[in-house]
Each structure stands twice: as structure tokens, then as C-alpha cells.
Amino acid sequence: MKYTTLTIDTALPARPRAKVMIIYTGGTFGMVRDASGVLKPFDFSAILEHLPTLRNLMLQLTVISFDNPIDSSDIEPGHWLAIADIIEKHYEGQDGFVVLHGTDTMAYTSSALAFMLRNLSKPVVFTGAQLPISESRSDARENLITALEIASASKGSQARVPEVCVYFDYALIRGCRAKKVESMHFDAFQSENYPHLAKAGVSIDYNEAAIFPPSPAGLAVWKKFDRRVAVLKLFPGITEETVAAVVRNPNLKGLIIETYGSGNAPTAGWFLSLLKEAIAGGLLVLNISQCPGGMVVQGKYETSRGLQQIGVIGGADMTIEAAVTKLMLLLGEFGVEGARQRIGQSLAGELSA
């Protein structure tokens, strides 16, 4: 992945308050209209024209911009590795990081980075915008300014939020708990099963009880992804042929089934038989609820007891975004059996005990 590094001249005093790196990957945030009215990526060297208040933050800002900004619909694990690589290379020299990313798959990327970046002691704040920064009513300005405030905030000698997180529309959310729920309003992201890490108003109120403490260990990065996973969303009337086509894929290593309610699924003999056959053949099958709130509790009802008995693993209250990225990473780092042992453990606060 090729990228350009730019230092933003904000006429700083000799000693800035903090050093923060902005990583621009693409997305709506950094778009401006050209003379013909077409949206195109803007030059970050001109960011002070759009955000002159950056000078008031007293921060030393460095921008790393992907040479070919990507629409978030095109995000792949290779892009997650590129972001993690930038953070790893510049970790010691920065106090925090802000990642500008398209909103459509931001929750996948923030989840992936939450699992990849082990032993964090510095903030990695994802943000973006529903409207381009060039638009008069854009949410990009407030989102970036507050994300920078959070990424640079400290308490004593420690960062206030040493986590991968998402800041959007006045709320700070744990990265592996975020889910995009809106495409037409500014409150695009939600964390249904975990409280906000902070709320921004006149001041930024940090929910310290919900925030991980900084790790005393040095940063380590998990980098191996196995993409041989699939998601099977259940619906009334799903056919045996459809399920068989998925679970009998010989290259598949991990399968997430999106079930109803607290983890319930059809009790039809053919359905359980297909899953049992696949699990016996080595497939890791994870149960995630279609509901944004609540959690999978296998065995609570008769309609989930059969899944438990054949070896389906309950995913508790993980989001589908966290489940997909966690499964790919665990399969890559530890193989099927290692992933089977770890998938039900909380690695980055993505699930409740």
C-alpha cells in the first residue's frame, strides 16, 4: 500500500501539547467538489482552509494519506494490515492516532484493529463523516476536531482512552462494539451492548469505568488473516439446498450463522444434520444473533439446544462485524483448533462474560 506523509504546519509553539497522526484511508470525509461539481479526494495540505480551528488544538499533526483513497465498500484485510503497519511503525513517536475511514465498513475495520493491536497504551480513534468536509452542513469538522481531542487527551502521564474506538456524532464507542445503523442521519453508529466510552458536549465526559487501562506491555500486532469464512443468515423458508451449498464448501474453515433472538434456529432434522456433519468434518461454527441488542444463550430455548449439543459455539453478544474479523484473525494466527479454543474468550472487550 503506497501512501504520502505530510506534516501540517499549524504555527505551533516550540512544545506542542501532543503529537497525533491522522491516517486518511478514503471515504466521504475527505471529498471536495471540483469545478464541474464532481466529488473527488481533497489535498490534505489544504486542510487548514477547511478547519482553521486546528491551530487552536496546540497539536503536532502528521497526516498519512493513502495515495489511492479507497471507498470503504472495497476494504479488505490487506487494508487493515496497512493501517496496523503504519501505527506500528510510528507508535513510539506519536501520542495517538486518528483514522479517517468510510462509514460503511468502519465497524469491520475498527473491530479488526482492536483485535490486531495487542497491548495498546495509546488511542486509535476512527471517525469519518456522512457529508463531505466541503459541504456547508458537514459533520466532518466536529467529528475530526473531537477525535483529535480524544486521541491527544491524557490523565497524568497516561492516555485517557488507550483503545481502538469509533467517534461519531458526539459519542465514543469501543471499536469492536460498533455497528453502523444509519445511512441518512448523523448518528450513524451504535453500541447496543456496551456503554459509551465518552460523550462530547460542552466538555468531553469520559466513562472511566468502561475504558480499558493502558497496557504496561509493549505493542504487539497480529497480522495473519484466513479469509475462508462465511456468514449464513437464517430466514423463514431457507432451504436445505441453500444451507448445504454453504456448509459443504470444502475450502470453508469457519461459518457464522446469524440466528434469531437469543440464538434460536430451525429444529428441522436436515438443518441440524448438515451442521453436525460439517462440525464433525472440522468446520468451526459460531452462533451470532441477528438482533443488535441482547446476546446468544444457547440452550435457553429448545430451538437452540440442538445447536449446543452438536458443537455450535455461542457468540454471546458479539456484533457480526466483530465476529467476522475475530474469526478470520484467529484462524490465521492459530488455525481451526486454536480459534475454536479462543473464539469464546474476550480479546478486546468485544463480548460480555
Give the C-alpha separation, 26 to 3, whole Å: 12
Using the structure block, give the residue that is written with the C-alpha cell 495487542: 118
3-state helix, strand, coil in the chain (%, to 5): 35, 25, 45
Q: Is the pLDDT of residue 33 over 70?
A: no
Choose the final residue of a domain: 221, 245, 278. Answer: 221
Shared domain check, 268 and 124: no
What SS3 class is residue 183?
A: coil
Catalytic residue among 28, 105, 319, 325: 28
Shared domain check, 332 and 309: yes
Shared domain check, 240 and 205: no
Please name every residue paired with 236 in a beta bridge, in sequence order, or none if there are none: none
CB 250 within 8 A of CB 277: no
Mean of pLDDT values over 170-191: 89
Shared domain check, 206 and 234: no
Q: What percent of the chain has pLDDT over 70?
A: 93
Is residue 245 included in any domain, yes or no? Answer: yes
Banded model confidence at residue 91, pLDDT cuts 50, 70, 90: very high
More confident residue, 344 or 57: 344
Using the structure block, give the residue that is written with the C-alpha cell 430466514: 235
- pLDDT number for residue 322: 98
Mean of pLDDT values over 133-158: 87
- pLDDT number for residue 38: 64
Choose the final residue of a domain: 221, 244, 275. Answer: 221
- pLDDT number for residue 139: 82
Banded model confidence at residue 26, pLDDT cuts 50, 70, 90: confident
Shared domain check, 140 and 270: no
- pLDDT number for residue 39: 64
Q: Is the pLDDT of residue 12 over 80?
A: no
CATH number for the domain spanning 249: value is 3.40.50.40
Catalytic: 28? yes
Mean of pLDDT values over 204-217: 95
Choose the final residue of a domain: 221, 239, 270. Answer: 221
Give the C-alpha separation, 192 to 131, whole Å: 24
Q: What is the pLDDT of residues 270-285, one digit of tens each?
A: 999 999 999 999 999 9
Shared domain check, 199 and 132: yes
Give the C-alpha separation, 166 to 189, whole Å: 8
Shared domain check, 176 and 159: yes
Q: Degrees (nearest 5) of the Cα angle 158, 159, 163?
A: 130
Q: Whole domain around residue 146: which residue ranges?
A: 3-221
Mean of pLDDT values over 174-180: 96
Measured from the Cβ of residue 93, the count of other Cβ atoms closer than 10 Å reads: 9
- pLDDT number for residue 183: 78
- pLDDT number for residue 13: 60
Whole-structure pTM value: 0.93
